[in-house]
Structure 1
Amino acid sequence: MAVPSIKNPVAKANLDLILGRTRGVDLAVEALRMALLGTAAVHQSFLCSRGLAHGGADEAMQLALTYRAKSNQLLSLACRSAESATDDAALGAAAAICLVDIFSSGRDWSEPLDKAKKLVHSRGGPAVLLARSSHAPLSRLLLEIVALYELFGCLVKAEVPTLLAPSVNNWWLEQTSSADTQSHVEEGFGMSREFVPELARVVAFVARALNPRSPGEEAQAGSPPATDVATEARALYRSIGDWSSSRGVAPARVGAGDRIYQNAAQIVLLREILHVPPEDEVVQQHADIILSLCLSCGQSNMSVDLNWPVIIAGSQMYGSDRTRVLAVFESFRKQCCYEIETAEYIVLQVWKRLDDKQPRADWRSVMEDNDLKHLIL
């Protein structure tokens, strides 16, 4: 949870799905159980690797991967049954497998995420699923998790989000039934619920701008020229920077998260679409804001789901400012798992390219060149 709390709605939701069910009978529930055990094993492995727990890190990681494989197998079997496929436990299992991959810095997260999206679509899409759900708060919690996982996966792969696409994202902010009254986005991910569609707009725009056509192909009919892309990028840059929550003052971690991701989105637009160099004063100003806020969050044990902004900001830094980036990563290690190692590696490789004046000195190119297809939050 991005916002520390005695109550953890995600843990409660998973326990509610597991408890009260006869063990070994429901495939979806068993898939969820195995995935949760896998998540715990990955965390134990990371603690062992840092000398904070007894036992072998490699052994714990192998156990985690065994649980993950078993969960994935059970989920595949559960998806063959219409009854199991409409059980929230199946959606929860898919999300939990993704979490194993996030914590372990694994590469196979696309498969469980695709399963999760197929489960959602098989139930009529997000809005219909919520309207028909007999446990709407639980269903919304799981949907929100899957939607955010997809959003960050699309950032990595330069793809357009589907669950938060403008044509279907009415479910995100609107109440779909009288029972659909709760959202846990803010405490779970540390940003305003109403800001997420704005972030999705940027991710979708960048994906379309970076992939208008394959190399060597003629421009397709209706493809916007480069000048139009730049104009839209500048408009989106201003729009995301001007955004503010309609409710006024947000909780401290949520307000910080909004500002952090606003500045990260603006850096992405400047660097990837408008081709502004990393040493540009405006880029540096955005990066400075991100690092200052992230360090404060890390020191307050509120660093969950802030790795991407640090990757984006850290990849722009030079000289003594790089010490600040490393300090942020170190402060994050208390609440992260192996994904922090991947995040730091990406930034270090960008720095090496910048210092050696090599081409493709940016985080996306480093990930592509090193086949780092990781889901990081």
Structure 2
Amino acid sequence: MMIHHYCDNSLSLIVAAPSENPNPIVAANLPLVLSQPAGSASDTEALRSGLMSVAAIHQSYLLARGGATPDGADAMLRIAQHHRMNAKTHLANACKTEAGTQSDASLAASLAIALTDIFLGGRNWSKNMDLAKTLVRVRGGPSALLGVSYPSTPGAIEGISRNRLFLEILTVYDLAGCIVSGQEVSMLDTDSDNWWLDDPYPNSSWVEPLFGISRPFLPLLARLINFLARAAREKSLTPVLNLDTLDECNEIFNELEGWVHNLSDLPARVHAGNTIYAKSSQASHNSRAR
């Protein structure tokens, strides 16, 4: 029942600008869940439980919003937490083996657990985010992971297209987490791995439909987050920012303003997303750079 609910609602639940064909979330995850008999592999069981935890917490939200069955909402929340704990246990077992750490299902499971934590109000999200990033790192980083992924059938979300989707989701989660924590971004660290900008297939990206923001805008957002983290460290040592820091501050501000006015035939939802992130980033930029 939970998997059915996940398949039926994942578009409206996760995707910012949904399109019925295809549903990238289901297309990426469901074949992994069905690739092994139930109970036979820790990585697929972790993903199965992770997806059920997402579905259960969504059902809890729907029941609470309706107001008629508050006890049902609480019960469903407990079910979500139960599936989340099962997912974590199965994922820990999967990660005890080399095959488990190299598994696409393990990476997908870590993202499902992270999403559950986000829906639960942000508790414990950083530990599970770190695990997801570690799973990418032990596979050689984003470029290496994509390099060894098998080619996908046109129109299908498998192999390299599935792993690109997972990496893009993790990258956006990483950016959002760093905005909260004040730490520097690791998934878009161009000094060690320029996979985002060097991607030969940027037109097959799911960033715009999933998150309602332009893919080329995210490196600038990462640059701002990293700048603010460095400026905060510098400010803790000296109350006056140096001229180079102020020059970079102004440069980033102007680049953000350019995205507000850059339509480039973008869908209205994506342009609105770019504008919201650019303006809120400028506000954060101004308040922290003082």
The two structures have a TM-score, normalised by structure 1, of 0.66
Counterpart residue number, 1:126: 142
Q: Shift of residue 73 of structure 1?
A: 1.2
Separation in 1, partners of 2:62, 2:177: 26
2:49 matched to 1:34? yes
CA-CA distance at 1:229 after TM superposition: 2.6
- Report the identity percentage: 38
Hey, what's the Cα distance between the residues in 2 that align with 1:116 and 1:174?
22
State the partner residue of 2:163: 139
1:45-64 equivalences under 5 Å are: 45-51=60-66, 54=69, 56-64=72-80
What corresponds to 2:264 in structure 1? 248
Q: After TM superposition, give the deviation of residue 185 of structure 1 in Å.
A: 0.7
Change (3 A) 1:261 1:247: closer
Other structure's SS at 2:204 match = coil
* C-alpha distance in 1 between matches for 2:94 and 2:276: 39
Residues 80-229 of structure 1 mapped to structure 2, 5 A cutoff: 80-134=96-150, 135-168=159-192, 170-175=194-199, 182-212=204-234, 225-229=241-245
Give me the whole-angstrom Cα distance separating, in 2, the residues matched to 1:74 and 1:122: 19
User: The residue matched to 1:212 in structure 2 has which SS?
Assistant: helix
- Hey, what's the Cα distance between the residues in 2 that align with 1:125 and 1:67? 29
Cα distance, 1:244 vs structure 2: 7.2
2:35 to 20, 23, 27: 20
Q: Which residue of 2 aligns with 1:65?
A: 81
Segment of structure 1 superposing worse, 137-146 or 164-173:
164-173
In structure 2, relative to structure 1, the CA distance for the partners of 1:250 and 1:89 (3 Å cut) is: same
Shift of 1:116: 0.6
Provide the TM-score with structure 2 as the length reference: 0.85
Q: Distance in 1 between matches of 2:240 and 2:221?
A: 22
Report the alpha carbon displacement of residue 245 of structure 1 after superposing the two structures with TM: 9.3
Structure-2 residue corresponding to 1:352: none
* CA 1:8–1:157: 2 relative to 1, 3 Å: same
Moved over 4 A (4+): 52-55, 244-247
Distance in 2 between the 1:40 and 1:119 partners?
Answer: 24
Secondary structure (helix, strand or coil) at the match of 1:22 reads coil
Larger helix fraction of residues: 2
Q: Report deviation, 1:227.
A: 4.2
RMSD over equivalenced CA pairs, Å = 2.3
Q: 1:167 to 1:175 in 2, by over 3 A?
A: same
1:232 is displaced (CA, Å) by 2.0
Q: CA deviation at 1:52?
A: 6.2
Amino acid at match of 2:97: S
Structure 1 residues not aligned, in runs of 5+? 275-377
Report if the CA contact (8 A) 1:249-1:255 is conserved: no
Q: Does 1:74 align with 2:90?
A: yes
Question: Which secondary structure does the structure 1 equivalent of 2:234 belong to?
Answer: coil
2: distance between equivalents of 1:52 and 1:168?
50
Separation of aligned partners in 2, 1:12 and 1:33: 14
Deviation of 1:236 after TM superposition, in Å, equals 1.1
User: CA shift at 1:234, angstroms?
Assistant: 1.7
Counterpart residue type for residue 272 of structure 2:
A
Deviation at 1:171, TM superposition (A): 1.3
Aligned residue pair count: 266
SS in 2 for 1:248: coil
Alignment partner for residue 2 of structure 1, among 8, 13, 16?
Answer: 16
Q: Is the 8 Å Cα contact of residues 137 and 181 (structure 1) preserved in structure 2?
A: no
Aligned equivalents of 2:143, 2:126: Cα separation in 1: 23
Matches within 5 A, 1:255-274: 255-274=271-290
